[in-house]
Amino acid sequence: MASQSNKTQSVYDFTVKDAKGNDIDLSIYKGKVLIIVNVASQCGLANSNYTDMTDLYRKYKDQGLEILAFPCNQFGGQEPGSIEDIQQMVCTRFKAEYPIFDKVDVNGDNAAPLYKFLKLSKGGFFGDGIKWNFSKFLIDKEGNVVDRYSPTTAPASMDKDIKKLLGVA
């Protein structure tokens, strides 16, 4: 599903699968500020998180923000559909214009290597595991994990941190 070298230095060292099963080398995002988030369309946090993320993306995409959304069904079975169904719902209902990647596990033995790296880089308040849907990681232009935000942190509240990394007033 995803691969990494033995000397992982940044998120750019990973390859992940897009919604169509194609390999995507995350180095294509070099020079961009990233939000990497595990999503679930049937979660109670979906409406507010997707709405805020869509607003942030529209506001900052031209300045270099990208949002990478990874559907995950590990929390309450709240992302049970096929990747095609998920993508259609997210793009239609939530007007998401940012990339939706293939489903991943974020915890456990089958956790995606990218998520293992993210968790090692920025453990959460309650430890290294992802606790719920919509855990958000903020990545700088060099691919370093700068911050981690809880599922209940509104993406809109990340605005100041995003602007700082983008270098916009």
Q: Which residues are known to be catalytic?
A: 43
Sheet with 65-71: strands ordered across: 65-71, 33-39, 136-139, 145-149
Q: Which two tokens stand for residue 72?
A: 């995950």
The CA distance from 132 to 154, in Å, is 14
Residue 89 contacts by C-beta under 8 Å, 6 or more apart in sequence? 41, 81
Residue 77 contacts by C-beta under 8 Å, 6 or more apart in sequence? none
Task: Give the Å distances, CA to CA, from 69 to 63, 127, 166, 169.
Answer: 19, 22, 20, 26
